[in-house]
């Protein structure tokens, strides 16, 4: 018998709304007349919830007032957006497929998992169970799976990546099961592709920021201004990563390692074509171009960082105090980002450094512009209360001048 979905949907909406009313009714005086206090409804994007013609929101607005604001659950919308990206971008889809094949190999075969752990023991690697990439929360699944896949070993060289490559190489040549052998060959080929491995590092950096934002949205105490601010920060940092690697991030470390390998082989007179490796796995493809691009990124970032230090030259500051408040903010943000590995290791609060910079500019403009550079910064670095009030900014950057 053919099911009548419109009728089913109609009664489902009625049942959800009735169940909501019942739940509030059981709370009694704790909620009072909850309909009079309701100002918004948050739910996933299903028509049964947010449909303007008969959805739960329509029923609620009919009873309580059309001023009630419907909004699609933000973490759910983020997940849907990332699913669309995964489907539309071939490289992301390739990473997703590879991670799924790795998970499938060990999830459905305890024998393969035992072999992987045995290889890990031989390599001195603490092997983790590969993460799945399918589930209701797609983004955290993929982020964790990528982190596990690229996890370095204790010696900083051989890690999970090495163990998986060794085992896939073994399965590709020895498995009697054609499906398993074919799967292993496909994974092994991806693992040896330098461009693919670099993209995995890039994606790990991108997903780390998006996952952090997703988890923020899922907190009960998160308020709307906080979410909007975090979204703005995420968009900026993600757009910047399209132009250069995240300082201190996975891709930045990967490219730095390639550059180091190239320099070492040049010094040893290795030949015209350097051999690049990641966790002892020899990489194929256009790896030399990646190393050269990484060198260009490093040089351009270093050059810009030097120029950004000009924000501490008070002769370049605008006379108007309103303009002075924002002057150099972008350059300071770049410096904080560029030196983030050092600053993070030393527990520097970068947001506090930004606040101190604004106060410091106004103080110097009002009271100390008659001093020479040397006497000014000597005063700021050694005299109270200045060296305490501006200690985060002063000892982060000015001691380097």
SS (H, E, C) 71-139: EECHHHHHHHHHHHHHHHCHHHHHHHHHHHHHHHHHHCCHHHHHHHHHHHHHHCCCCCCCCCCCCCCHH
Q: Assess contact for 214 and 75: CB atoms under 8 A.
A: yes
What is the spatial distance between Cα 167 and Cα 171, in angstroms, rounded to a whole number?
A: 6
What is the spatial distance between Cα 128 and Cα 112, in angstroms, rounded to a whole number?
A: 13
Statement: residue 271 has pLDDT above 80? no
Statement: residue 266 has pLDDT above 60? yes
Percent of the chain, pLDDT > 90?
10
Percent of the chain, pLDDT > 70?
87
What is the spatial distance between Cα 65 and Cα 118, in angstroms, rounded to a whole number?
A: 64
Statement: residue 293 has pLDDT above 60? yes
Average pLDDT, stretch 314-333? 85
Q: What is the pLDDT, as a whole number, of residue 135?
A: 61
- Better-scored residue on pLDDT, 157 or 180: 180
Band (pLDDT 50/70/90 cuts) for residue 115 is very high
Mark out the alpha helices in 249-286 (DSSP H runs): 250-267
Mean pLDDT of the chain: 80
Band (pLDDT 50/70/90 cuts) for residue 21 is confident
For residue 41, give both structure tokens: 């409804």
Q: What is the pLDDT, as a whole number, of residue 255?
A: 86
What would the pLDDT profile of 172-231 be if each residue is shown by its tens digit?
Answer: 988 888 988 999 999 999 999 989 999 999 989 888 888 888 888 888 888 877 888 888
Q: Assess contact for 85 and 92: CB atoms under 8 A.
A: yes
Statement: residue 88 has pLDDT above 70? yes
Cα angle value 219/225/227 (rounded, 5°):
40
130 CB neighbour count, 10 Å cutoff: 23
Q: Assess contact for 368 and 377: CB atoms under 8 A.
A: no
The domain spans of the chain are: 5-72, 78-243, 313-401
Q: Determine what percent of the chain falls in helix, strand and coil, rounding each to the nearest 5.
A: 70, 5, 25
């Amino acid at each position: 018998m053919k099911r009548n979905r419109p009728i089913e949907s109609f009664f489902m909406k009625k049942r959800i709304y009735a169940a909501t009313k019942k739940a509030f009714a059981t709370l009694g005086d704790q909620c009072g007349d909850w309909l009079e206090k309701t100002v918004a409804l948050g739910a996933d994007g299903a028509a049964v919830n947010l449909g303007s013609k008969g959805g739960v929101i329509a029923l609620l607005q009919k009873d309580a007032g059309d001023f009630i604001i419907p909004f699609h659950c933000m973490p759910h919308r983020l997940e849907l957006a990332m699913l669309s990206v995964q489907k539309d971008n071939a490289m992301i889809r390739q990473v997703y497929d590879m991670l799924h094949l790795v998970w499938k190999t060990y999830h459905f075969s305890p024998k393969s998992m035992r072999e992987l752990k045995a290889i890990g023991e031989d390599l001195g690697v603490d092997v983790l169970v590969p993460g799945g990439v399918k589930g209701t929360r797609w983004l955290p699944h993929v982020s964790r799976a990528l982190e596990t896949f690229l996890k370095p070993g204790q010696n900083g060289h051989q890690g999970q990546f090495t163990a998986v490559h060794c085992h896939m190489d073994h399965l590709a040549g020895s498995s009697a099961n054609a499906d398993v052998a074919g799967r292993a060959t496909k994974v092994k080929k991806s693992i040896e592709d330098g461009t693919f491995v670099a993209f995995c590092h890039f994606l790990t950096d991108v997903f780390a920021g998006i996952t952090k934002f997703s988890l923020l949205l899922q907190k009960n105490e998160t308020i709307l201004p906080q979410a909007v601010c975090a979204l703005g920060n995420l968009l900026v940092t993600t757009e910047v990563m399209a132009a250069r690697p995240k300082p201190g991030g996975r891709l930045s470390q990967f490219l730095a390692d390639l550059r180091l390998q190239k320099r070492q082989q040049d010094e040893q007179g290795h030949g015209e074509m350097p051999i690049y490796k990641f966790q002892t796995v020899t990489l194929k493809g256009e790896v030399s171009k990646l190393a050269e691009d990484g060198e260009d990124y490093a040089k351009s970032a270093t050059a810009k960082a030097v120029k950004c230090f000009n924000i501490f030259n008070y002769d370049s500051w605008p006379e108007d105090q309103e303009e002075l408040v924002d002057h150099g903010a972008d350059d300071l943000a770049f410096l904080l980002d560029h030196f983030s590995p050092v600053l993070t290791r030393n527990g520097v609060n970068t947001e506090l450094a930004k606040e101190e910079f604004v106060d410091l500019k106004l103080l110097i403009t009002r009271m100390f512009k008659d001093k020479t550079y040397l006497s000014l910064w000597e005063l700021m670095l050694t005299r109270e209360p200045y060296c305490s009030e501006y200690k985060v900014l002063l000892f982060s950057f000015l001691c380097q001048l």
